[in-house]
Amino acid sequence: QLTRDAISEAMLNERLANRDTYQVLAYDITRVGVRGKRSPSYLLLDNKSAHLNGTDTVHLDVRRAVERWLATPRKNHGLLIEVRTGPTLKPAPHHHVRLRRSVDEPHESWQHKQPVLYAYTADGKHKTRSIRDAAASSTRSKRAGHHRRAHRRKNSDEICRRHSLYVDFADVGWSDWIVAPPGYDAFYCQGKCPFPLAEHMNSTNHAVVQT
């Protein structure tokens, strides 16, 4: 979801600034480029016409990109949003829709125009997620893939082990100053820890204190 104000602030030149109808395109970055060797690859996901004098937001369907990210988290290179007025008019370099608040912009005004990616999932834990920073979502996906590697479970009253614990910044009242990510996997340990700890366990100070 892109707001009219966000697109207006990304005006690229005088020709664009005098138009009131714009073409907004969303691409999935399927392959990153390497300077001097290869160009990046893009897949067009959605294309919408926006009448900036009559609409407040532009909604783009990026479901195919999200599905690909979930299937292969390491290949999540983010999205490319392009604003133009014709098939041959390309955005000027170094102009873009802001994903983060400018240091001299009030927080209240930024909340009304920041781009938002909504992803609705049914994983049994979080029914709805609002991901505010597309770039940061790549890091979260990689971390989630690492955490999904299962450990063989023993009786719950035996060896201490890590349990899942997700901290949602909105639930603890931090979402007003943390833009992204929406939360993080904090985890916690529970169970009996052998003491003294064997040398091969290579425990951290945190684990020793909990023991």
From the list 90, 89, 62, 66, the residue with the least C-alpha distance to 76 is: 66
Of 64-73, 130-139, 158-167, which gets the smallest average pLDDT? 130-139
Higher pLDDT, 171 or 156: 171
Residue 23's pLDDT band, with cuts at 50, 70 and 90, is confident
Of 73-87, 101-115, 127-141, 165-179, which gets the smallest average pLDDT? 127-141
Residue 125's pLDDT band, with cuts at 50, 70 and 90, is low
Mean pLDDT, the chain, integer: 68
Q: Which residue's structure tokens are 């994983």?
A: 123
| Long-range CB pairs of 109-117, under 8 A, 24+ apart, other chains included | 112/3, 112/5, 113/3, 113/4, 113/5, 113/6, 113/9, 114/3, 114/6, 114/179, 115/1, 115/2, 115/3, 115/6, 115/81, 116/1, 117/1, 117/62, 117/79
Interval 29-47 mean pLDDT: 87
Peptide bond into 196 cis (omega under 30): yes
Of 21-30, 38-47, 84-93, 109-118, which gets the smallest average pLDDT? 84-93
CB 87 within 8 A of CB 69: no
What is the domain partition of the chain in residue ranges?
A: 2-149, 156-211
Which fold is adopted by the domain 156-211?
Cystine Knot Cytokines, subunit B (2.10.90)
